[in-house]
């Protein structure tokens, strides 16, 4: 019960990693506002949590709308009496070559992944400041750290999020609010299922030392840690949860000139 008595808002929590994070927070004793553009999905997750005895409330928001960002933060206070933790998880993805990326695609991705995270965090922080405590967690991506094919628009939105985390962290460190990133590698969620074709899957299995996609629950466990009291001195950090993807250099079997054969998929 590492988050006992805490109140959290998680964007994009109708499915995938956001849902896993919300459920992990509930397991650790927090109350959670489930928020998503998918209202039905958010309600389904909240109803299920309540059925199991947890404290949850569903709200429809579009993270790109300032009034929705305000409604989300205020909802935590109105329903559960405060706001301690906010997770910027809502995101959209796209794999398209730089030369083929439409301006409209770029702008849509930046709006959701970067502007949305910015304004939702701002609304949350303004309510955390008077209390002298807060945790903001941004869900970034390995695509924001490495130059992956087809990741120009998506990658730049996540790289921007990492820098936003650093600036927020420096400005707010003395106020009792910590801001950190989790950068997932390849995680088996709806988004990855829809976006990753066989060539992408093969490439990930080859490049990730653990030779597998991560699970949403593995991201959620990292979010619990960064939200907990144990993480109180961690500021502006990016925690990669990626099976070693970012760390890996040349991989081959020692004593053999052959590169390892990736396991069957």
Ligand X SMILES: NC(=O)c1ccc[n+]([C@@H]2O[C@H](COP(=O)([O-])OP(=O)(O)OC[C@H]3O[C@@H](n4cnc5c(N)ncnc54)[C@H](O)[C@@H]3O)[C@@H](O)[C@H]2O)c1
Cβ-based neighbour number of residue 71 at 10 Å: 16
CB of 224 to ligand X, least distance (A): 16
- Site size for ligand X (CB under 6 A): 31
**Any contact of residue 94 with ligand X (CB under 6 A)?**
no
Q: By rule CB under 6 A, what string of x and - marks binding of each residue 32-51 to ligand X?
A: ----xxx--x----------
Structure tokens at 59: 């709200």
Helices (H) and strands (E) in the chain, counts: 9, 7
| Residue 57: active-site member | no
Binding residues among 49-88 for ligand X as defined by CB under 6 A: 61-64
R_g (Cα) of the chain, nearest Å: 18
Measured CA to CA in angstroms, residue 247 lies from 161, 207, 251, 263 at distances of 20, 10, 11, 20
> Site mask, ligand X, residues 203-242, x = CB under 6 A?
----------------------------------------
How far is it, in rounded angstroms, from Cα 193 to Cα 239?
23
**Considering only residues 6, 7, 10, 18, which one is a binding residue for ligand X as defined by CB under 6 A?**
18
- Token duo for residue 208: 């990730």
- Residue placing its CB nearer to ligand X in the complex, 168 or 186: 186
Burial class (CB in 10 A: 0-12, 13-18, 19+), 62: middle
190 touches ligand X (CB under 6 A): yes
Q: Is 137 in the site for ligand X (CB under 6 A)?
A: no
Residues of this chain that bind ligand X (CB under 6 A): 11-12, 14-18, 36-38, 41, 61-64, 89-93, 112, 116, 139, 141, 184, 186-187, 189-192
Would you please indicate which residues are annotated as catalytic (active-site) residues? 154
């Amino acid at each position: 019960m590492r988050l006992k008595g805490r109140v959290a808002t998680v964007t994009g929590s109708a499915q995938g990693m956001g849902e896993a994070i919300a459920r992990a927070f509930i397991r650790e004793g927090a109350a959670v506002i489930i928020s998503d553009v998918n209202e039905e999905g958010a309600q389904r997750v909240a109803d299920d949590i309540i059925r199991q005895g947890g404290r949850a409330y569903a709200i429809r928001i579009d993270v790109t709308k300032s009034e929705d960002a305000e409604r989300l933060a205020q909802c935590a206070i109105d329903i559960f009496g405060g706001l301690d933790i906010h997770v910027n998880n809502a995101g959209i993805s796209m794999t398209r070559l730089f030369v083929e990326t439409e301006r409209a695609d770029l702008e849509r991705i930046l709006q959701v992944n970067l502007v949305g995270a910015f304004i939702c965090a701002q609304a949350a922080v303004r309510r955390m400041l008077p209390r002298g405590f807060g945790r903001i967690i941004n869900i970034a991506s390995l695509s924001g750290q490495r130059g992956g094919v087809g990741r120009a628009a998506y990658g730049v939105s996540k790289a921007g999020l990492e820098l936003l985390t650093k600036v927020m962290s420096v400005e707010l460190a003395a106020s009792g609010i910590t801001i950190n990133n989790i950068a997932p590698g390849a995680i088996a969620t709806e988004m990855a299922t829809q976006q990753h074709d066989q060539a992408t899957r093969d490439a990930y299995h080859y490049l990730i030392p653990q030779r597998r996609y991560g699970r949403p629950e593995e991201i959620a466990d990292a979010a619990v840690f960064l939200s907990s009291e144990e993480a109180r001195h961690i500021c502006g950090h990016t925690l990669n949860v990626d099976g070693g993807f970012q760390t890996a250099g040349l991989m081959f079997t020692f004593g053999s000139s052959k590169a390892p054969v990736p396991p069957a998929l």
